[in-house]
Amino acid sequence: MARGPRIVLGFLWVFLPTLLAEGAARLPLVGERRREELRALGPERLYGWLQELGGAFVKFGQLLSLRYDLLPPRYCRSLERLYDRVPPFPVQQARAIVEAELGAPIDTLFSHFEDRPIGAASFGQIHRVVIGRGQDQGKVAVVKVQRPGAERNFDTDARWLLAVGFLVDLSSVLGQVKVRPVVRDFIRWPRRELSFVVEAKNADRVHEHTEWNPMQRIPWIYWEMTTPRVLTMEYLEGLPLSELVRRIEAGDAEVMDELEAMGCDLHGLARNVLQNYYLQAAVGEVFHADPHPGNLIVLPGNCIGYVDFGLVGRASPEDLREQMALMDAIASQDVERLFIAVLDLLDAPRGLLVSEHYERFAEATDAWLDASDNPGASPGEKSLVNLVVAVMNLARDIGLPLTMSMTLYFKALMAVDSSVLRLRPGQDYHAELVQTLRMVRLRMIEQRMGPGPTLDRALTTTLMALELPNLVKEQVIHYQQTTSAMFRRINQAPLVVAAFLRSLAWTSLLGALLLLPFERGHAHRLPPELADRIPLGVIEAVAEGWPLGILGALLLFWGARVVAAQAMVKVQGQS
In whole angstroms, give the CA distance from residue 354 to residue 397.
Answer: 9
Residue pair 484/571 in contact (Cβ under 8 Å)? The answer is yes
Residue pair 509/548 in contact (Cβ under 8 Å)? The answer is no
In whole angstroms, give the CA distance from residue 418 to residue 412.
Answer: 10
| CA 82, chain centre distance (Å) | 23
Is residue 284 helix, strand or coil? helix
Please give, one letter per residue, the 3-state secondary structure of 78-130.
HHCCCCCCCCCCCHHHHHHHHHHHHCCCHHHHEEEECCCCCEECCCEEEEEEE
In whole angstroms, give the CA distance from residue 218 to residue 236.
Answer: 9
Residue 234: name the closest of 242, 225, 243 by CA.
225
In whole angstroms, give the CA distance from residue 189 to residue 158.
Answer: 12
Specify the DSSP element, H or E, that contains 379: helix 379-382
Residue pair 105/99 in contact (Cβ under 8 Å)? The answer is yes
Taking each continuous run of H as one helix and of E as one strand, the counts in the chain are 24, 11
Residue pair 539/514 in contact (Cβ under 8 Å)? The answer is no
DSSP state of 403: P
Q: Are strands 303-306 and 216-217 parallel, antiparallel or unpaired?
A: parallel
Q: Kindly list the strands in the beta sheet with 239-240, ordered across the sheet, starting from the edge strand earlier in the chain.
A: 216-217, 303-306, 296-299, 239-240
Report angle CA 381, 382, 387 to the nearest 5 degrees: 90
Contacts of 113 (CB under 8 A, 6+ apart): 95, 106, 127, 129, 143
Is the CA virtual torsion 501, 505, 506, 508 positive or negative? positive
Catalytic residues: 290
- Residue 233 backbone phi and psi in degrees, to 5: -140, 165
